[in-house]
Copies of this chain bind each other. A is one copy, B any other.
């Protein structure tokens, strides 16, 4: 073998064997060392490089194991055939844009809905709980688990939901999901085949429309008023796969579905044998009276209930659940398995403890007062600033309200103006299917804004709208 340039650097953390291996590998790959060429014996090379013979031996063994060289023991070591690769990617471009920049626009006041007060997440309690679970749980908890989730959590949740939401089911009907989005995506896979029809509120979160459509559904929109979906507008001859509703707090308009409409829905579902999918995303925060009982509790036979801890605790945890009629449970478990096997076990166990020890209910109680105050700041601020030019609705529950600004149209130009004024609001029209009826309405989320930010935000809106 000709003399090779094999510089070993003793000051690096990389072991000499590894350095040697990498250099030889690279030279074989790029053709500097060619097929059939004989390598120096381990003894020769050790002498030459002034290293122990073991260094060479280990590097050769690794190259041999990977097929770069052959004839390790016996009459010499040779570079193998077929081990060089034409390199076309040395100037491999890495020009991806960094998505993390521009995301937190400085000093922007963002009325994005659905975000709880992040500064009040019970981080100490949660931190202690996850540590305790990690240290004390049985070691089997660190293995693969069942797709439907931990029994501990399913049992605690069953008890909690019956008590607080009138949801009736057996723990075996529950599948723990990685947030409500996964719940929606599982429901879509469970119930939709291509060209199936789904009856849906209009407006409804744009993302939900996309999830159902991406599964091949055709959406039939039914208008919404202050009492939720106008169920008498569902044509009697429709045969949808399911009806999707947010009965406790319609998103975005904020209405609560009346008992009459609930019963109409149930009667329709009974007659057409379709399912009802109930998305109950933030009903715990009801400021006028107690939370409304679930639709699921009235019609457990064919209602799928989607729940989440994103609003009452934190979206970062990605914890939610589905309650399913027994006939759908097994297939849902399979789909969950295909999607990610199961939701992380330690997170599930921590949540089970958090609920069981009463932390969740205490937290909700505390946060309800916080959000009530923020809501009041927003409502009174809007009223004071815009007087009879603003109309507020959908504010009985949850973390957002809808404001109608008389004579304003939230078109691109106005939105740009607002953004330049460092305030972000969310037009209802983003979420409508039949366009046009809510041009003057925006969604204002207040969960994660301080009173000062809310006031300053209203000021900036007023400044931008010039009304």
| Contact A85 B347, beta carbon cutoff 8 Å | no
| Contact A178 B340, beta carbon cutoff 8 Å | yes
A298 within 8 A of B: yes
| Contact B139 A263, beta carbon cutoff 8 Å | no
| Contact A290 B21, beta carbon cutoff 8 Å | yes
A130 within 8 A of B: yes
| Contact B62 A290, beta carbon cutoff 8 Å | yes
A453 within 8 A of B: no
- A121 smallest CB distance to B (angstroms): 4
CB-contact partner of A448 in B133, B143, B211, under 8 A: B143
Contact with B along A123-134 (1 / 0, CB 8 A): 110111011111
**Which chain B residues border A177 with CB–CB below 8 Å?**
340
A293 within 8 A of B: yes
- Chain A interface size range: 35 or more
CB-contact partner of A127 in B130, B168, B185, under 8 A: B130
A182 within 8 A of B: yes
- A21 smallest CB distance to B (angstroms): 7
Given contact pairs A66-B258, A151-B100, A338 touches B170 in the complex (Cβ within 8 A): no
Contact with B along A237-278 (1 / 0, CB 8 A): 000000000000000000010111101101000100000000
| Contact B317 A67, beta carbon cutoff 8 Å | no
A29 within 8 A of B: yes
| Contact A62 B97, beta carbon cutoff 8 Å | no
Contact with B along A337-348 (1 / 0, CB 8 A): 111111111110
| Contact A298 B29, beta carbon cutoff 8 Å | yes
A288 within 8 A of B: yes
Sorted nearest first, the 5 A-B pairs with minimum C-beta distance are: A67-B258, A127-B134, A82-B260, A316-B345, A96-B172
29 interchain pairs (CB within 8 A)? A17-B290, A25-B293, A28-B259, A61-B289, A65-B396, A80-B260, A82-B259, A82-B260, A83-B263, A84-B263, A94-B172, A94-B173, A96-B172, A97-B172, A99-B333, A103-B146, A115-B143, A118-B140, A124-B134, A126-B134, A127-B133, A128-B131, A142-B315, A144-B315, A178-B178, A318-B342, A339-B339, A340-B340, A344-B344
